[in-house]
Amino acid sequence: MKRQALIAALMLGVSGMMSAQVEKTVTLDGSVNLKSALDALDVDINTISSLSVVNEEGAALTAADYAILNSMQALESLDLSGDKVTTTITANAFLNNATIKSVAFPAGLNNLEGGCFNNSALEGTVTFPSTLTSPPAVMNRFQNCQGITGFEFPGNNSLSSVDGVVYCDGGRTLLVYPCGKPEKQFAIPEGVTKIQDQSFFYNNILEELTIPASVTNAVEVSADKTFRYNTALKAIYVDPANEYYASSGGILVNTETRTLVMCPPMIEHVVVDGALVTTTPNYRFFGEAALVESMTFTEGVISIADNGCRMTNSENLADGSGALKSIFLPSSLTTVGGNAFCRRGNVSMIVCKALTPPAVGGNAFFDLGKFDSDPLVVYVPEESLAAYANWGGMQAYGAQYKPFYAVEVTEEPGNVYVSECNAAAVSPLGEGIAGEGTEVALSAPDEIDSFYFSGWASTSEDVTFAEETSPNTTFIMPAHAVEVYPVYSHIVTGLEDLAAPAATGANAPAYDMTFIFNVNGTGPNIERRMSIGGKTSEI
């Protein structure tokens, strides 16, 4: 045991020596450049963890000097603030650097060339001297720096930052959003008119982005130019007052061109709003969104483009289908392009509302549902069931074609006092429709003005409510259309012309009359009570 303890102590001692910080300062002049200054040090430069460079009368640092600094294996802190001569950090100077965590720039720095810190280990807030005023000198210089949480520009009249995010043009252009900024939600400030190319590249943290009304189309916002290599984004929201962009269930839409722009890779439920776009982009617009469980195309969508909903990796993986289980197609749909849903192997339900079966391109539903143990059910309008026979060739994957029926929620017959109650019927197939044997969820307000919910009723005798007197209940759909409606009652407590006398005492009269009844007498519960002198009687 003593020997083991001694070995452990020795190992700790060696580890401490290896991790000891070595700090050095070098001074450059007309006869001493960076290489000679480092060579003159009494240590191996690969053990230096912190280096300060002083340069008041020497030559400016060159690409060769940066290559030396970039190769130093233990260097974590680089301080160039004492360099009064150097004004430029050359292209790719610290590209892929895995050790430098902090840098202080030369006091007169005015240019950072392309890629100079891309994919580097920089951490925390990066601060720039006021002499760096060119917006391009910040763009594409710190890409994929996952440790950078913010940028600062003290005393700078051209570049600025708010909470670490870089702006220019007096705050009107968002220039760079730091990869390591820890917040999961970000709302671009109102007043920003441009979102610069590459501004959100390589972000693995941001989940929700909100675009204000002020953003215009001065710079095209797109998946490729703006959001490439994002891995955490779930939704992009847009202020409804924006004239150029909108959000369709978290998907970014260009309202001028009426096209889908960006599908967040971590979105789970896709909604394509037919009021905004009529067709989907081709070539796997949703291909990186492997977590999507449902795709809903609302009324107004007329076509789904070739390969539009196919996974990007579908050829390379045995099951490249993603999580997609349900597809909802509108009555306005006329065309499903070739390979549109190819290899979406986990799909178990399609609902198509089109009375005329949409034209289907080659392999539009190839391997659909093939990898899922649940049967693939295709629900179509009752009157069009025959026309849909083997639509899309899905019988090859065990598809069952079934009709859906209407579930109409109406106002209570004869009750002129209650209307617009906003009751709803929703099944797994959607709102207002259901298939035989599926569960329909009903919901209605607890009260409307002075009317109170008292039960559900139906014109169909074979509709049985799970809880008839609950505003939120269910029933199992029969094999035909049904009509249901909520019943409302008016509660009256007391009578205005029967006020209790002022007298008190054991023999003082008391009136407390309560009537609970349905206006047209059809409610499931009609109650009549009268309380006189503290005793209750039925009336």
Tens digit of pLDDT for each residue in 383-426? 999 999 999 999 988 899 999 999 999 988 877 666 677 899 99
What pLDDT shows up at residue 501?
44
Instruction: Please give the Cα distance from 355 to 153 (Å, whole number).
Output: 61
Q: Which two tokens stand for residue 61?
A: 């640092």
pTM of the model: 0.83
d(CA 477, CA 427): 9
What's residue 62's pLDDT? 97
- For residue 225 the two structure tokens come to 């130019």
Q: Which helix (H) or strand (E) holds 68?
A: helix 63-71
Q: Taking a C-beta distance cutoff of 8 angstroms, is the pair 226, 202 a contact?
A: no
Report how far residue 19's alpha carbon sits from residue 8's, in angstroms, rounded to the nearest whole number. 16
Percent residues over pLDDT 70 in the chain: 85
How far apart are alpha carbons 344 and 324 in whole angstroms?
Answer: 7
Q: Which residues of the chain have pLDDT under 70?
A: 1-19, 314-320, 416-419, 491-539
Lateral strand order in the sheet of 439-443: 430-431, 424-427, 439-443, 472-476
Is the distance from CB of 328 to CB of 304 less than 8 angstroms?
Answer: no
Lookup: tokens for 514: 């309560």
Cα–Cα distance list, 445 to 406, 442, 531 (Å): 22, 11, 30
Residue 512: its pLDDT value, please? Answer: 42
DSSP conformation class of 279: B
- Residue 279 tokens, joined: 């067709």
| Interval 333-343: pLDDT, tens | 999 999 999 98
Residue in this structure with the two tokens 């950090």, named with its chain if needed: 89
- Rounded-to-5 percentages of helix, strand, coil across the chain: 10, 30, 60
